[in-house]
Chain A
Amino acid sequence: AQSVTQPDIHITVSEGASLELRCNYSYGATPYLFWYVQSPGQGLQLLLKYFSGDTLVQGIKGFEAEFKRSQSSFNLRKPSVHWSDAAEYFCAVGAGFQKLVFGTGTRLLVSP
């Protein structure tokens, strides 16, 4: 069965520092991978997605993610974090025709 692991429950980053959020997936075939962000009091918003092709994917708000098949990973990165990036981030893998399986999320705290 498909699964997603986000090993970090919380991460604190200083404003202006770089960010990497980890995501590992389990899936038999080529996965469809997603990163969503949930700002406080809001629903989830898609940051980026990977289906095939270039393994480095660019998303909104300056985020990018790299698909590494050998490591079964799809880590999210941002070179310089802003205070407005404080939120919860979810990695997800496509499971079957229409379903997504989500990870447990990583809460990002941004310190001044």
Chain B
Amino acid sequence: DVKVTQSSRYLVKRTGEKVFLECVQDMDHENMFWYRQDPGLGLRLIYFSYDVKMKEKGDIPEGYSVSREKKERFSLILESASTNQTSMYLCASSFRRQVTDEQYFGPGTRLTVT
């Protein structure tokens, strides 16, 4: 079974802090994704990566950056956390660079910025 793990289920940070959210997949998938999930807005794509050190902006990249130094690990970085970044963050991975491939999701990290 594919497993996508996220470093924390719950995280509380203060405004202005630098925040790292880590995601690891164990199935040698090429693609990895970061989404945020908000009530009434569904899932919105922040960034995705189709290879090591490669990244592309999604629909809402402002205030975020990403890092993919190894194929299995994809990090989301909030350079200076703000209260409007309080949300559920979901990581996902898929095998190939094709939209038809299933995305496998981690359990999510609920981030609260105070």
Q: Could you list which residues of chain A lie within 8 angstroms of chain B, going by C-beta atoms?
A: 6, 9, 32, 36, 41-46, 49, 51, 90, 94-100, 102-105
Closest beta carbon of chain B to A92's beta carbon, Å: 8
Kindly count the residue-residue contacts between A and B in the assembled complex, taking CB atoms under 8 Å apart. Answer: 59
Interface size class of B (residues with CB under 8 A): 20 to 34
Q: A9-B40, A104-B40 in contact; A32/B48 too (CB < 8 A)? A: no
Proximity bits, B62-100, A CB within 8 Å = 1, else 0: 000000000000000000000000000010101001111
Please tell me if the beta carbons of A100 and B99 are within 8 angstroms of each other in the complex: yes
Bound CA–CA A105/B103 (angstroms): 17
Bound CA–CA A104/B90 (angstroms): 15
Q: Could you list which residues of chain B lie within 8 angstroms of chain A, going by C-beta atoms?
A: 4, 31, 35, 40-45, 48, 50, 58, 90, 92, 94, 97-100, 102-108
Closest beta carbon of chain B to A88's beta carbon, Å: 9
Bound CA–CA A58/B100 (angstroms): 16
Please tell me if the beta carbons of A103 and B42 are within 8 angstroms of each other in the complex: yes
- Chain B residues, CB < 8 A from A51: 100
Known contacts A97-B97, A98-B50; can you find 16 more A-B pairs with CB under 8 A? A32-B99, A42-B107, A43-B4, A43-B108, A44-B92, A45-B105, A49-B100, A90-B42, A99-B45, A99-B99, A100-B103, A102-B42, A102-B43, A104-B40, A104-B41, A105-B42
